[in-house]
Amino acid sequence: MEADFTLGAVQVSSSPQERFSEYLQSRGKRITQQRRALIDHVFERHDHFDADELIANLSRTELGEKVSRPTVYRTLNELVEAGLLRRMALGGRAVYEHDYGYPQHDHLHCTMCDTLIEFQSDELQRLRDAVGREHRFRVTGHRLIVSGVCQQCSTKRHRRASPLDLV
C-alpha cells in the first residue's frame, strides 16, 4: 500500500482580503487599492514565487503600472507578518507561498531546476511530536525542506550518449 502525501484542505473563517484588512486595521494602517489588487493577484492560485517573479507577473497585467516595486516588497512583508504568506530562503533568495488556509506541509527542493514539491506526512508529524515530548518541548510547527534532484533533472543528467553529441 502506497502512502498518501497529498495536502488536505483547511477550512478558514474569512477570506485573505478580510484577514489582511483586520491585520492592517489593528496596526492603524489602511487597505489601499494597490494592496487589495496584490492580495487578489497572489491568492488567485497557489504557487511559490519570489518578489521579482511577482513583479514580472504583475507587469504583464494592468496592475503593473499601478503597483510600485516598494509597495510589492512592503506588502509581501505585511502578508508574512499577518500570517497569510510564509517566507522560505532557497538558494539565497526569499520565496513565498500561501500559509493561510493551507495545512502544515513540507517541501522537496530540486537544486537543479528550483522546483518545489509539496508533501504532507503523518509519520513525520508523529516523529516531530514524539521528539518534542521526549525533550518536554511544546511543538507549534515545523519547516522541512529536503534538497536533492528531481526525477526530470536526474533523467536529463544521466541520459545515454547520442551521436548528435559529437556534432
Helix H or strand E segment including 146:
strand 145-148
Half-sphere exposure of 75 (CA within 13 A, CB side): 26
156: helix, strand or coil: helix
Q: How far apart are CA 7 and CA 19, in angstroms?
A: 22
Residue 99, annotated as binding a ligand: no
Any known ligand binding at 150? yes
* pLDDT given at position 158: 58
Long-range pairs for 28-32: beta carbons < 8 A, 24 or more residues apart: 29/78
Per-residue pLDDT tens listing for the chain (167 residues):
355 555 556 677 888 999 999 999 999 999 888 899 899 899 888 889 999 999 988 888 877 677 888 999 999 999 999 999 999 988 888 999 988 877 788 899 999 998 888 888 889 999 999 999 999 999 988 888 999 999 999 887 655 666 665 65
The verdict on whether residue 98 carries a ligand-binding annotation is no
- Report the alpha-carbon distance of residue 100 to residue 117 in Å, rounded: 18
Instruction: Report the C-alpha gap between 89 and 85 in whole angstroms.
Output: 13
The verdict on whether residue 106 carries a ligand-binding annotation is yes
**Residue 129 marked in a binding site:** no
CB-CB contact of 87 with 94 (8 Å) = yes
Give me the pLDDT at residue 1, please: 39
- Please, what are the domains in the chain? 14-102 (1.10.10.10), 103-160 (3.30.1490.190)
Q: Which of 121, 123, 108 minimizes the C-alpha distance to 154?
A: 108
DSSP letter assigned to residue 63:
G
